[in-house]
A and B are shown apart, each in its own frame.
Chain A
């Protein structure tokens, strides 16, 4: 047994160790602060990277051309037949216009380089105009047509300071093309304008023609299906489990099961959707309806858990008062508990929807990664979703898609921000302290 120390000796030992102990204390606190900074710092880096990469995509290079809608090219026989109008060679109009601008481009190779300045989507624009209004034939219009993505990158890259490292990579244009770009700019025929295509277009192989409207609409239909199914089902399940369920093994199983379902990897829900909805029930692949069903099963546990918490927070006195004046149990729940718990349930539902909006892994399983050019018209037409579109663009080899991917991420994050802000607002507006 150790000898007892005198008080003076104890005090000496403690004081000798204090310096070391205080240093450990300081270090521990410092580690904590560093961890907080790592977490917050990462978020800052992530956002600056994405915004830095993506803000450029909201502006795009357009070239102003004087297009003559020559009937001899579009409709040589003068039939005005819509089929003839739709299948005419509109690229020829653009080529003609470019040649009048730069008559010096004589030989084939030079002309090919010249034509490459304007996006292939320009011809579609012209086609749409003519089909919508055949009366335009024979007229001449000044039009802003999207420039090719290489031109776009070149103009933006030069403007964003002479970054020599990336500058070397961006030299995909010939000196002659760069000369033309300079001439177009000096006559103000090449300008940066707001990129409406990005917000109104579907997917495309050409970066300058690709937009997120198709994917956004797909996500919208999916969330609509998810909300319509998961909110009523989730609230009903929560009401039963909180208010009616007797204590029995079956209810215990349901409870454990719901908690576990909330932690099952999302890709497993995708496997379920593939095996049950698509293979067993024969539903179409790539349809927002199936995506919505899969996301419903995924968000259901989240909504049930949030709704149960909301019901639990309604004080028992409300229930007792309702029962006391003669309400039946069902009337007590639907007339008194449910209205008081609804804001909390809606908050949970919005958070669940936000999670569903950002989810992509299960959608890969049910074929929503297809290359879909058309904007979907309903929950049965093939489409992608916003996060899946990001995944698809991130995999695309063209460099211009980097910018588009970041811009699409910015849009997705903006949606999520709005939804979460709505949830926070709802909570602060209707939250009641009992």
Chain B
């Protein structure tokens, strides 16, 4: 039986369970009228029986799909002739793959077809047997669950409380997904990173000055070792994000100040949505703009004053990234500036200060923690930004502080190492996860500090 048929049958059973449960509740509770002796509304008895019909079957299905393939595979391995069974781990995996492909009716190397045919047949037999068994079991379990619930129905039975408990458990489970995501990120990235650090020492990675991850295929090739010193990447990331912040922080801050302190409401109404549009543009569009329009302009400008500018300079990527985070900085600072109490402004004006003096000496100082928090969030954004640098920066590592030269960043390297064919044991692929770990940890620390600062600042004036 196919999974879709099974799902259809199960749905029908659940609907029937609801109907029967509700009907029984009405019958035992003395009808729907005012003389009703039921604890809950009749539909809750229906929900109750339906849940008992659905959940056991669903649990069984999940457990079965999680374990059945492992069990079938081990049975198939046992059936293999000794020579095949005693292969090393990796070889055995390949053999099993071939068997699965053959079982699925795909092409397999002619010479080995006969050898695997028996195993493939066994695999198919076991799978269909497992499917049949599963279908039967699920239907049986669902019916059993329904019957138990149905028999338990009494007028004083608290059906609503049971149903609400089930809903609450589902709500809790949904809010745990966020935790699971963080755990998943941490575990998966750390796990692969540890495998990387087994091959490349931690200190070499963190403090090494040379990065060339292209490991050679044959041992006697030039540069076969590969070098995994990540300092040039960190330097490149810092350079580009630094340029971005130098662009974005003053401009974003001045926009926020102008809009909240000077601009007439009409201008505000126009400029704010425009900045939101700037924030909503996909980063790939910024990347395209940086690579195609900004980089050549910078190069031409540099040539015209006699400077030697790389065609994919850090300056171009940094400038565009800065424009990208302007709305981010300005909206965060806007919130912060508006949170400064009016009384502080009034006090400053009363002493005879001009508007700009009030802003510079009173508002900005009062808002400083919030602004710093906003800048930290912007920095974490700039560090983690990927598409702009992938399209407007280069691949080769270059340890320099000159914004006119080309550099590479952590995110660019992660993308280049993981896009395309890959084997999961080579340090080249695993290095991407080590870089990802560094990126995750750094941005996490920045975010935590920033959110703490902003929160404490808010509490100060609330």
Would A358 and B284 count as touching, CB distance under 8 A?
yes
Q: Which of A33, A254, A329, A369 contacts B179 (CB 8 A)?
A: A254
Does the CB pair A267–B257 fall under 8 Å? no
Q: CB-nearest residue of chain B relative to A424?
A: B273
Chain B positions 166 through 200: 1 when the CB is less than 8 Å from some CB of chain A, otherwise 0: 01101110111111011011001101100000000
Q: Is B31 an interface residue (CB 8 A)?
A: no
Q: A29-B258, A46-B289 are in contact. Are A39 and B411 (CB under 8 A)?
A: no
Report the minimal beta-carbon distance from A185 to chain B, rounded to whole angstroms.
30
* Interface band, chain A: 35 or more
With contacts A35-B251, A394-B391, A409-B285 taken as known, whether A43 is within 8 angstroms of B175 at the C-beta atoms is no
A265 touches B383 (CB 8 A): yes
Which of chain A's residues have a CB closer than 8 A to the CB of B172?
A: 240
Contact of B177 among A233, A274, A276 (CB under 8 A): A233
Q: Which residues of B contact A22 (CB under 8 A)?
A: 354
Q: CB within 8 A of A253: which of B179, B293, B327?
A: B179
Contact B184 A257 (CB under 8 A): no
A168 at interface (Cβ–Cβ under 8 A)?
A: no
In the complex, whether A204 has a CB less than 8 A from a CB of chain B is no
Is the pair A394, B288 in contact by a Cβ cutoff of 8 Å?
Answer: yes
A364 touches B415 (CB 8 A): yes
A300 touches B178 (CB 8 A): yes
Q: A260-B444, A274-B418 are in contact. Are A405 and B288 (CB under 8 A)?
A: yes
The interface residues of chain B lying within 8 Å CB-to-CB of A33 are 258
Given the complex, which residues of A lie within 8 Å of B252, measured CB to CB? 35
Interface presence of A304 (CB below 8 A): yes
Assembled-state Cα–Cα distance A385/B129 (Å): 39
Question: Which of B250, B275, B356, B451 has most chain A Cβ within 10 Å?
Answer: B356
A122 to B418, CA, bound (A): 37
A254 and B176 form a contact (CB under 8 A)? yes
Residues of chain A from 72 to 104 with CB closer than 8 A to chain B in the complex:
none
Q: Quick one: which of A392-428 are within 8 Å of B by CB?
A: 394-395, 402, 405-406, 409, 412-413, 416, 420
How far, in angstroms, from A381 to B280 measured CA to CA in the complex?
Answer: 29
CB distance from B303 to the nearest CB of A (A): 15
What's the nearest-Cβ distance from chain A to residue B408, in Å?
14
B281 touches A254 (CB 8 A): no
Instruction: Report yes or no: B278 in contact with A42, Cβ–Cβ below 8 A.
Output: yes
Which of B19-27, B119-127, B220-228, B435-443 is near enough to bind chain A?
B435-443
Complex CA–CA separation, A34 to B258 (angstroms): 10
Interface residues of B (CB under 8 A from A): 160, 164, 167-168, 170-172, 174-179, 181-182, 184-185, 188-189, 191-192, 250-252, 254-255, 257-259, 262-263, 267, 271, 274-275, 277-278, 280-285, 287-289, 291-293, 323, 326-327, 330, 352, 354-357, 359-360, 377, 380-381, 383-387, 390-391, 411, 414-415, 418-419, 424, 432-433, 436, 439-440, 443-444, 447-448, 451
16 inter-chain pairs at a CB distance below 8 angstroms, sorted by A residue, are A21-B357, A35-B251, A36-B255, A36-B263, A39-B251, A39-B255, A39-B323, A39-B327, A232-B174, A261-B181, A275-B191, A275-B433, A387-B387, A390-B285, A416-B280, A420-B280
